[in-house]
Amino acid sequence: MELSSSSELPTWNGCVMATDKNDNEYCFIIGAPKAGTSTVFDLLSQYPEVNTSAIKEPHYFCSDLDRRAPLKIFANDEEYLSFCYPKITSKHRYLIEASASYLYSQVAANRIKKFSQNSKIIILLRNPIDAVYALYSQKKFGGAETLNFVDSIRAIEERLLGNKVSKNPGILETYDYIGTYKYYDQLKRYLDIFETKNILIIKYEDLVRDPLKIQAQLSSFLCLAPHEGVGFRSINLNKRIKNVALHRLIRYIRLNLVFKKIFPKHFFGYFVKMVEDL
């Protein structure tokens, strides 16, 4: 597939390419956490047509969430744009950021739509059973989590009130390990107001299994021409279990002590099957 040689607007693969600053479009990678948002953000940052945000997760459009230090709070659109995209040039087709909080937020979808009606939305979803523990592990590693896994689940309601959290928690709702992965209502908010052609949903498991296929889907979705050297870099897509006994213990805890009490029976059974197939 090649760029056209027409004297009119350049096209590639049936897509009109950006030609000046006014042609900039917006793309938001909205979550879910620990489902590959950093991986996709890193990939897209390699395309010359893309201008990625100076900070991966500005969290600007999730004004309903409890945003605390060390997050920067932007006063308005102008401040958000000038900070996140200080150098916009004519070569940039897309301005892209990747705030995983936007999927959880109840207002982000409408705020993004008001900001840019034709925004492209990329959503990455991961088996909730694995994603919950991955999010917990990340917070534990970073020092924001001090409780063991089971106690952290039991403490969710109290933590959403600001209790038993780290000194600088960032977004308080990241302690909602269960609510973060209740996908139905989250997806519905975006599917209700954005055209389906502007939404791309990717399964984390597919990203791990066949990254080249996912790269092709992303390129097609955003009408990005191929470039030599652009690809997924070493970003822990192929992590292996280092401690089998610990993994089995963790799996027992999360499947039997936690999720059976939280998710509906049919929901639990579906995702147990997904885990067994991985």
Cis peptide leading into residue 32 (ω within 30°) = yes
Spatial contact of 200 and 218, defined as CB atoms under 8 Å apart: yes
Does residue 54 lie within any of the structural domains? yes
Look at the chain and report how many structural domains it folds into.
1
Does residue 3 lie within any of the structural domains? no
Model confidence at 249, pLDDT cuts 50, 70, 90, reads: low
Q: What is the pLDDT of residues 192-245, one digit of tens each?
A: 999 999 999 999 999 999 999 999 999 999 999 999 999 998 555 444 445 545
Q: Assign residue 19 a region: left if phi > 0, alpha if psi is -120 to 50, beta otherwise?
A: alpha
Does residue 168 lie within any of the structural domains? yes
Q: Which of 1-5, 147-151, 179-183, 202-206 has the lowest average pLDDT? A: 1-5
Q: What tokens appear for 34 in the block?
A: 């620990």
Whether 55 shows a pLDDT value over 80: the answer reads: yes
199: three-class secondary structure by DSSP: strand
> Residue 33 corresponds to which amino acid?
P
Q: Which residue has the tokens 């705020």?
A: 111
Does residue 270 lie within any of the structural domains? yes
Spatial contact of 178 and 259, defined as CB atoms under 8 Å apart: no
Does residue 93 lie within any of the structural domains? yes
Does residue 257 lie within any of the structural domains? yes
Q: What is the pLDDT of residues 114-156, one digit of tens each?
A: 999 999 999 999 999 999 999 999 999 999 999 999 999 999 9
Q: Whole-prediction pTM value?
A: 0.80
Q: Which residue has the tokens 């000046």?
A: 20
CATH code for the domain of 162:
3.40.50.300
Does residue 110 lie within any of the structural domains? yes
Q: Which domain holds residue 62?
A: 11-277
Does residue 5 lie within any of the structural domains? no
238: three-class secondary structure by DSSP: coil
Q: What is the 3-state secondary structure (H, E, C) of 174-196?
A: HHCCCHHHCHHHHHHHHHCCCCH
| C-beta neighbour count of 163 within 10 angstroms | 9
